Chain A
Amino acid sequence: QSALTQPASVSGSPGQSITISCTGTSSDVGGYNYVSWYQQHPGKAPKLMIYEVSNRPSGISNRFSGSKSGNTASLTISGLQAEDEADYYCSSYTSSSTWVFGGGTKLTVL
């Protein structure tokens, strides 16, 4: 049950696009289309942004998109806004019927 690998931090200016990667193995990210992404602002509970690799829940801006290639999933945020500044976590269901999260990425909007 090793954590998925995410960059510790990314940054971008308002209006730009950024991408956060999430690398796992064939037993989790690479083996299933069960990757989800969560946004967490300081002191708040996480919020689902993307599920099943690329699906957005109702109410989530289309500026958020997800994709996957092999053992690596990605979250792209386009048209960066100040309120996007937060921590982002990926998660995957695994072959053992367990869950695994990434270490988290701090997004800074410059």
Chain B
Amino acid sequence: EVQLVESGGGLVKPGGSLRLSCAASGFTFSSFSMNWVRQAPGKGLEWVSSISGGSGYIYYADSVKGRFTISRDNAKNSLYLQMNSLRAEDTAVYYCARVLDTAVITWGQGTLVTVSS
């Protein structure tokens, strides 16, 4: 069974840092691009970042560029999102997502990040 399990969310003060992890199983992790997608409370989906299977192609939304870093460890079947200089507007559920071509075919259950003093 294909599974994506996020972890690492929590409460952090503005300006702080947090590292999200996503453990993948049930598929050949290195063969798929992966995305992080977030959803602020009561709001819509927002694409955050993408990384190709071999980490050769990485892209970020303008709203997080320079503050967030996406990475992956194919040996550990894991995806990461390092989030620095966090702001209140980064408060959201962060989803790990498996990509096939140009669609998200598998979503994790999400991890909540709350940025508040």
Contacts and interface: CB of A to CB of B under 8 A. Distances in A.
Interface in A70-91: 87, 89, 91
User: Chain B: interface secondary structure?
Assistant: strand
Contact of A89 (B44, B62, B95, B100): B44
B21 interface: no
A3 interface: yes
B107 A46 contact: yes
Interface string A84-110: 000101010100111111111000000
A34 B102 contact: yes
A57 B37 CA distance: 20
Interface in A10-46: 32, 34, 36, 38, 40, 45-46
Contacts of A96: 59
Interface in B54-99: 57, 59, 61-63, 95
A97 B61 CA distance: 10
Give the bracket for the number of chain B residues in contact with chain A.
20 to 34
B102 A101 contact: no
Given A38-B45, A47-B107, A99 B35 contact: yes
Given A36-B103, A52-B102, A46 B45 contact: yes
Given A32-B102, A91-B45, A97-B50, 7 more contacts: A1-B61, A45-B108, A46-B95, A46-B104, A48-B103, A51-B102, A97-B57
26 contacts: A1-B61, A1-B62, A3-B44, A34-B101, A36-B103, A45-B95, A45-B107, A45-B108, A45-B109, A46-B45, A48-B105, A51-B101, A51-B102, A51-B103, A51-B105, A52-B101, A52-B103, A89-B44, A91-B47, A91-B103, A97-B57, A98-B59, A99-B47, A101-B45, A104-B44, A104-B45
